[in-house]
Amino acid sequence: DIQMTQSPSSLSASVGDSVTLTCRASEDIRTYVAWFQQKPGGAPKSLIYGASTLHSGVPSKFSGSGSGTDFTLTINSLQPEDFATYFCQQYYVYPFTFGPGTILDFK
């Protein structure tokens, strides 16, 4: 199975900050990575697919990059609604696997 790791596991930031979250795959997955945002008690919300393409309706403050094994999610100008947990997932091969998540909370 392809292992997905994320760093940091948690990150404290302030409103207005920009942050970069990292996701790493144990094998080359080209750009078959998706990023999700999840708030407590809620379902994952799709942010990015194909490593860098934003889903319709996702603000341009979110951006993704990377290919192969290393990927990043950058969030600019943090707002209160951005504080959540962020997961990455590879859909290159079965079994699909998710990263453990990065908790983004208020400093």
Partner 1 sequence: QITLKESGPTLVKPTQTLTLTCTLSGVSVTERGVSVGWIRQPPGKALEWLAVVYWDYNKRYSPSLRSRLSVTKDTSKNQVVLTMTNMDPVDTATYFCAHRREGPGQGWFHPWGQGTLVTVSS
* Residue ranges in contact with partner 1 by CB under 8 A: 1, 32, 34, 42-46, 49-50, 55, 87, 89, 91, 94-101
Rounded distance between C-alpha atoms, residue 55 and residue 64, angstroms: 11
- CB closer to partner 1, 11 vs 17: 11
- CB closer to partner 1, 17 vs 49: 49
- CB closer to partner 1, 49 vs 65: 49
Q: Are strands 97-98 and 102-106 parallel, antiparallel or unpaired?
A: unpaired
User: Least distance in Å: CB of 22 to partner 1?
Assistant: 16
Rounded distance between C-alpha atoms, residue 4 and residue 100, angstroms: 8
